């Protein structure tokens, strides 16, 4: 995971600030991967101590969570609380034990309630000398604007499917075949943690069947297909996979019309046979329109829309568009 993180623009920006000794006093690391957020915070944390003579020792201690001048809040599997904020205030008044810098890692700050966030406002704006804050967040929407204005944003963009696949290979080695890794990487929407969840959960085959059933079933069977998948726990992954299916279908549709071979661009290469069915079933304009509809569905799900209704409306709109465009083509 560190290999991916160290190649991000966010990491390079902070590294440059460290080399120039121009660190700020508060940063917000936005990383839409809750599973690996703590790893990201630790990876970035090391940059604040890279001038130390015993840096290799400090790196190891940070990884272990036992470096005295790099403190992580909240406790494992807990949310940041007002009590944590009080402890952080008290701890920030104590001098660093090694060097001249003390770092507080706070994650996931998006889960902290407004009272907790407000409790830390003044400290974020005017921390004691040598104190730095690195906040982690999977999203910035729940974070107060007053907090955002006091922190410098470091945003990690989604990784490419190839990057995620390579990372999975480094993590799991030969435990899984490459087709499975490629599928999970493609369905992860650039999120390594999501790819790991799909892989370890063993539901990648079920996820694939559910997604293709929504895309390829007859119109009158759509309500049944929605009912079968509507209560899935893997809403984001299903929507990501639907997006990829329509995207790859679009590539094959364009291939059929232009004669240019696009098969090497497919992200779901192991599903090529069913992707040809998608390209045959839907018009070119509908395959494009599907991307917009799925984006809308993803936003609605993010704001807690009822998923079965959301997915049924999304697929119904796509099919209606397909039927209308087919009629216009006759």
**CATH number of the domain to which 34 belongs:** 3.40.50.300
- Regarding whether 69 and 12 lie in a shared domain, the answer is yes
- Regarding whether 144 and 58 lie in a shared domain, the answer is yes
The single-letter DSSP state of residue 196 is H
- Regarding whether 257 and 151 lie in a shared domain, the answer is no
Which of 134, 155, 176 is the C-terminal boundary of a domain?
A: 155
Q: From the CA atom positions of the chain, what is the Rg in Å? A: 23
Contacts of 196 (CB under 8 A, 6+ apart): 35, 168, 171, 184
Domain residues for the domain of 216 are: 203-325
Residue 198 lies in a domain: no
Cβ pair 3, 170 in contact under 8 A: yes
Residue 162 lies in a domain: no
- Regarding whether 136 and 6 lie in a shared domain, the answer is yes
Peptide bond into 74 cis (omega under 30): yes
- Regarding whether 213 and 143 lie in a shared domain, the answer is no
Residue 168 lies in a domain: no
Query: Is residue 12 packed enough to be buried (19+ CB in 10 Å), middle (13-18) or exposed (0-12)?
Result: exposed
How far, in Å, CA of 54 to CA of 56, rounded? 6
Domain at 320, CATH number: 1.20.272.10
pLDDT at 330: 64
Per residue of the chain (330 residues), give pLDDT as tens: 899 999 999 999 999 998 887 899 999 999 999 999 999 999 999 999 988 878 899 999 999 999 999 999 998 888 999 999 999 999 999 999 988 899 999 989 999 999 999 999 999 999 999 999 999 999 998 999 999 999 999 999 999 989 999 999 999 988 888 888 988 888 888 999 989 988 888 778 888 899 999 999 999 999 999 988 877 888 888 888 899 999 999 999 999 888 888 888 888 888 889 999 999 999 999 999 999 999 999 888 877 778 888 999 999 999 999 999 988 876
Tokens of 34: 């809750």
Cβ pair 67, 61 in contact under 8 A: yes
């Amino acid at each position: 995971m560190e290999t991916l993180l160290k190649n991000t623009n966010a990491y390079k920006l902070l590294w440059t600030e460290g080399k120039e000794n121009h660190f700020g006093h508060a940063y917000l690391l936005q990383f839409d991967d809750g599973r690996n957020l703590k790893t990201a915070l630790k990876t970035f944390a090391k940059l604040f101590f890279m001038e130390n003579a015993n840096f290799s020792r400090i790196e190891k201690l940070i990884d272990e969570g036992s470096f005295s001048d790099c403190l992580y809040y909240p406790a494992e599997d807990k949310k940041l609380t007002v009590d944590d904020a009080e402890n952080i205030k008290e701890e920030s008044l104590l001098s660093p034990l090694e060097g001249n810098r003390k770092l507080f890692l706070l994650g996931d700050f998006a889960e902290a309630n407004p009272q907790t966030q407000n409790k830390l406002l003044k400290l974020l704006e005017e921390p004691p000398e040598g104190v730095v804050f690195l906040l982690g967040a999977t999203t910035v929407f729940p974070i107060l604007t007053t907090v955002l204005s006091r922190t410098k944003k470091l945003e990690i963009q989604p990784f490419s499917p190839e990057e995620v696949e390579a990372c999975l290979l480094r993590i799991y080695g030969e435990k899984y075949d490459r087709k499975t890794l490629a599928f999970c990487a493609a369905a992860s929407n650039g999120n390594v943690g999501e790819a790991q969840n799909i892989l370890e959960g063993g539901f990648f085959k079920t996820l694939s069947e559910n997604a293709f059933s929504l895309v390829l079933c007859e119109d009158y069977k759509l309500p049944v297909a929605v009912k079968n998948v509507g209560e899935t726990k893997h809403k984001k992954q299903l929507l990501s996979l639907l997006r990829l299916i329509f995207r790859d279908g679009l590539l094959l549709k364009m291939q059929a019309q232009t004669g240019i071979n696009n098969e090497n661009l497919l992200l779901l290469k192991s599903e090529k046979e069913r992707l040809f069915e998608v390209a045959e079933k839907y018009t070119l304009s509908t395959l494009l329109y599907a991307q917009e509809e799925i984006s809308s569905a993803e936003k609605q799900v993010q704001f807690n829309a009822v998923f079965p209704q959301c997915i049924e409306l999304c697929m119904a709109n796509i099919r209606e568009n397909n039927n209308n465009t087919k009629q216009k083509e006759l």
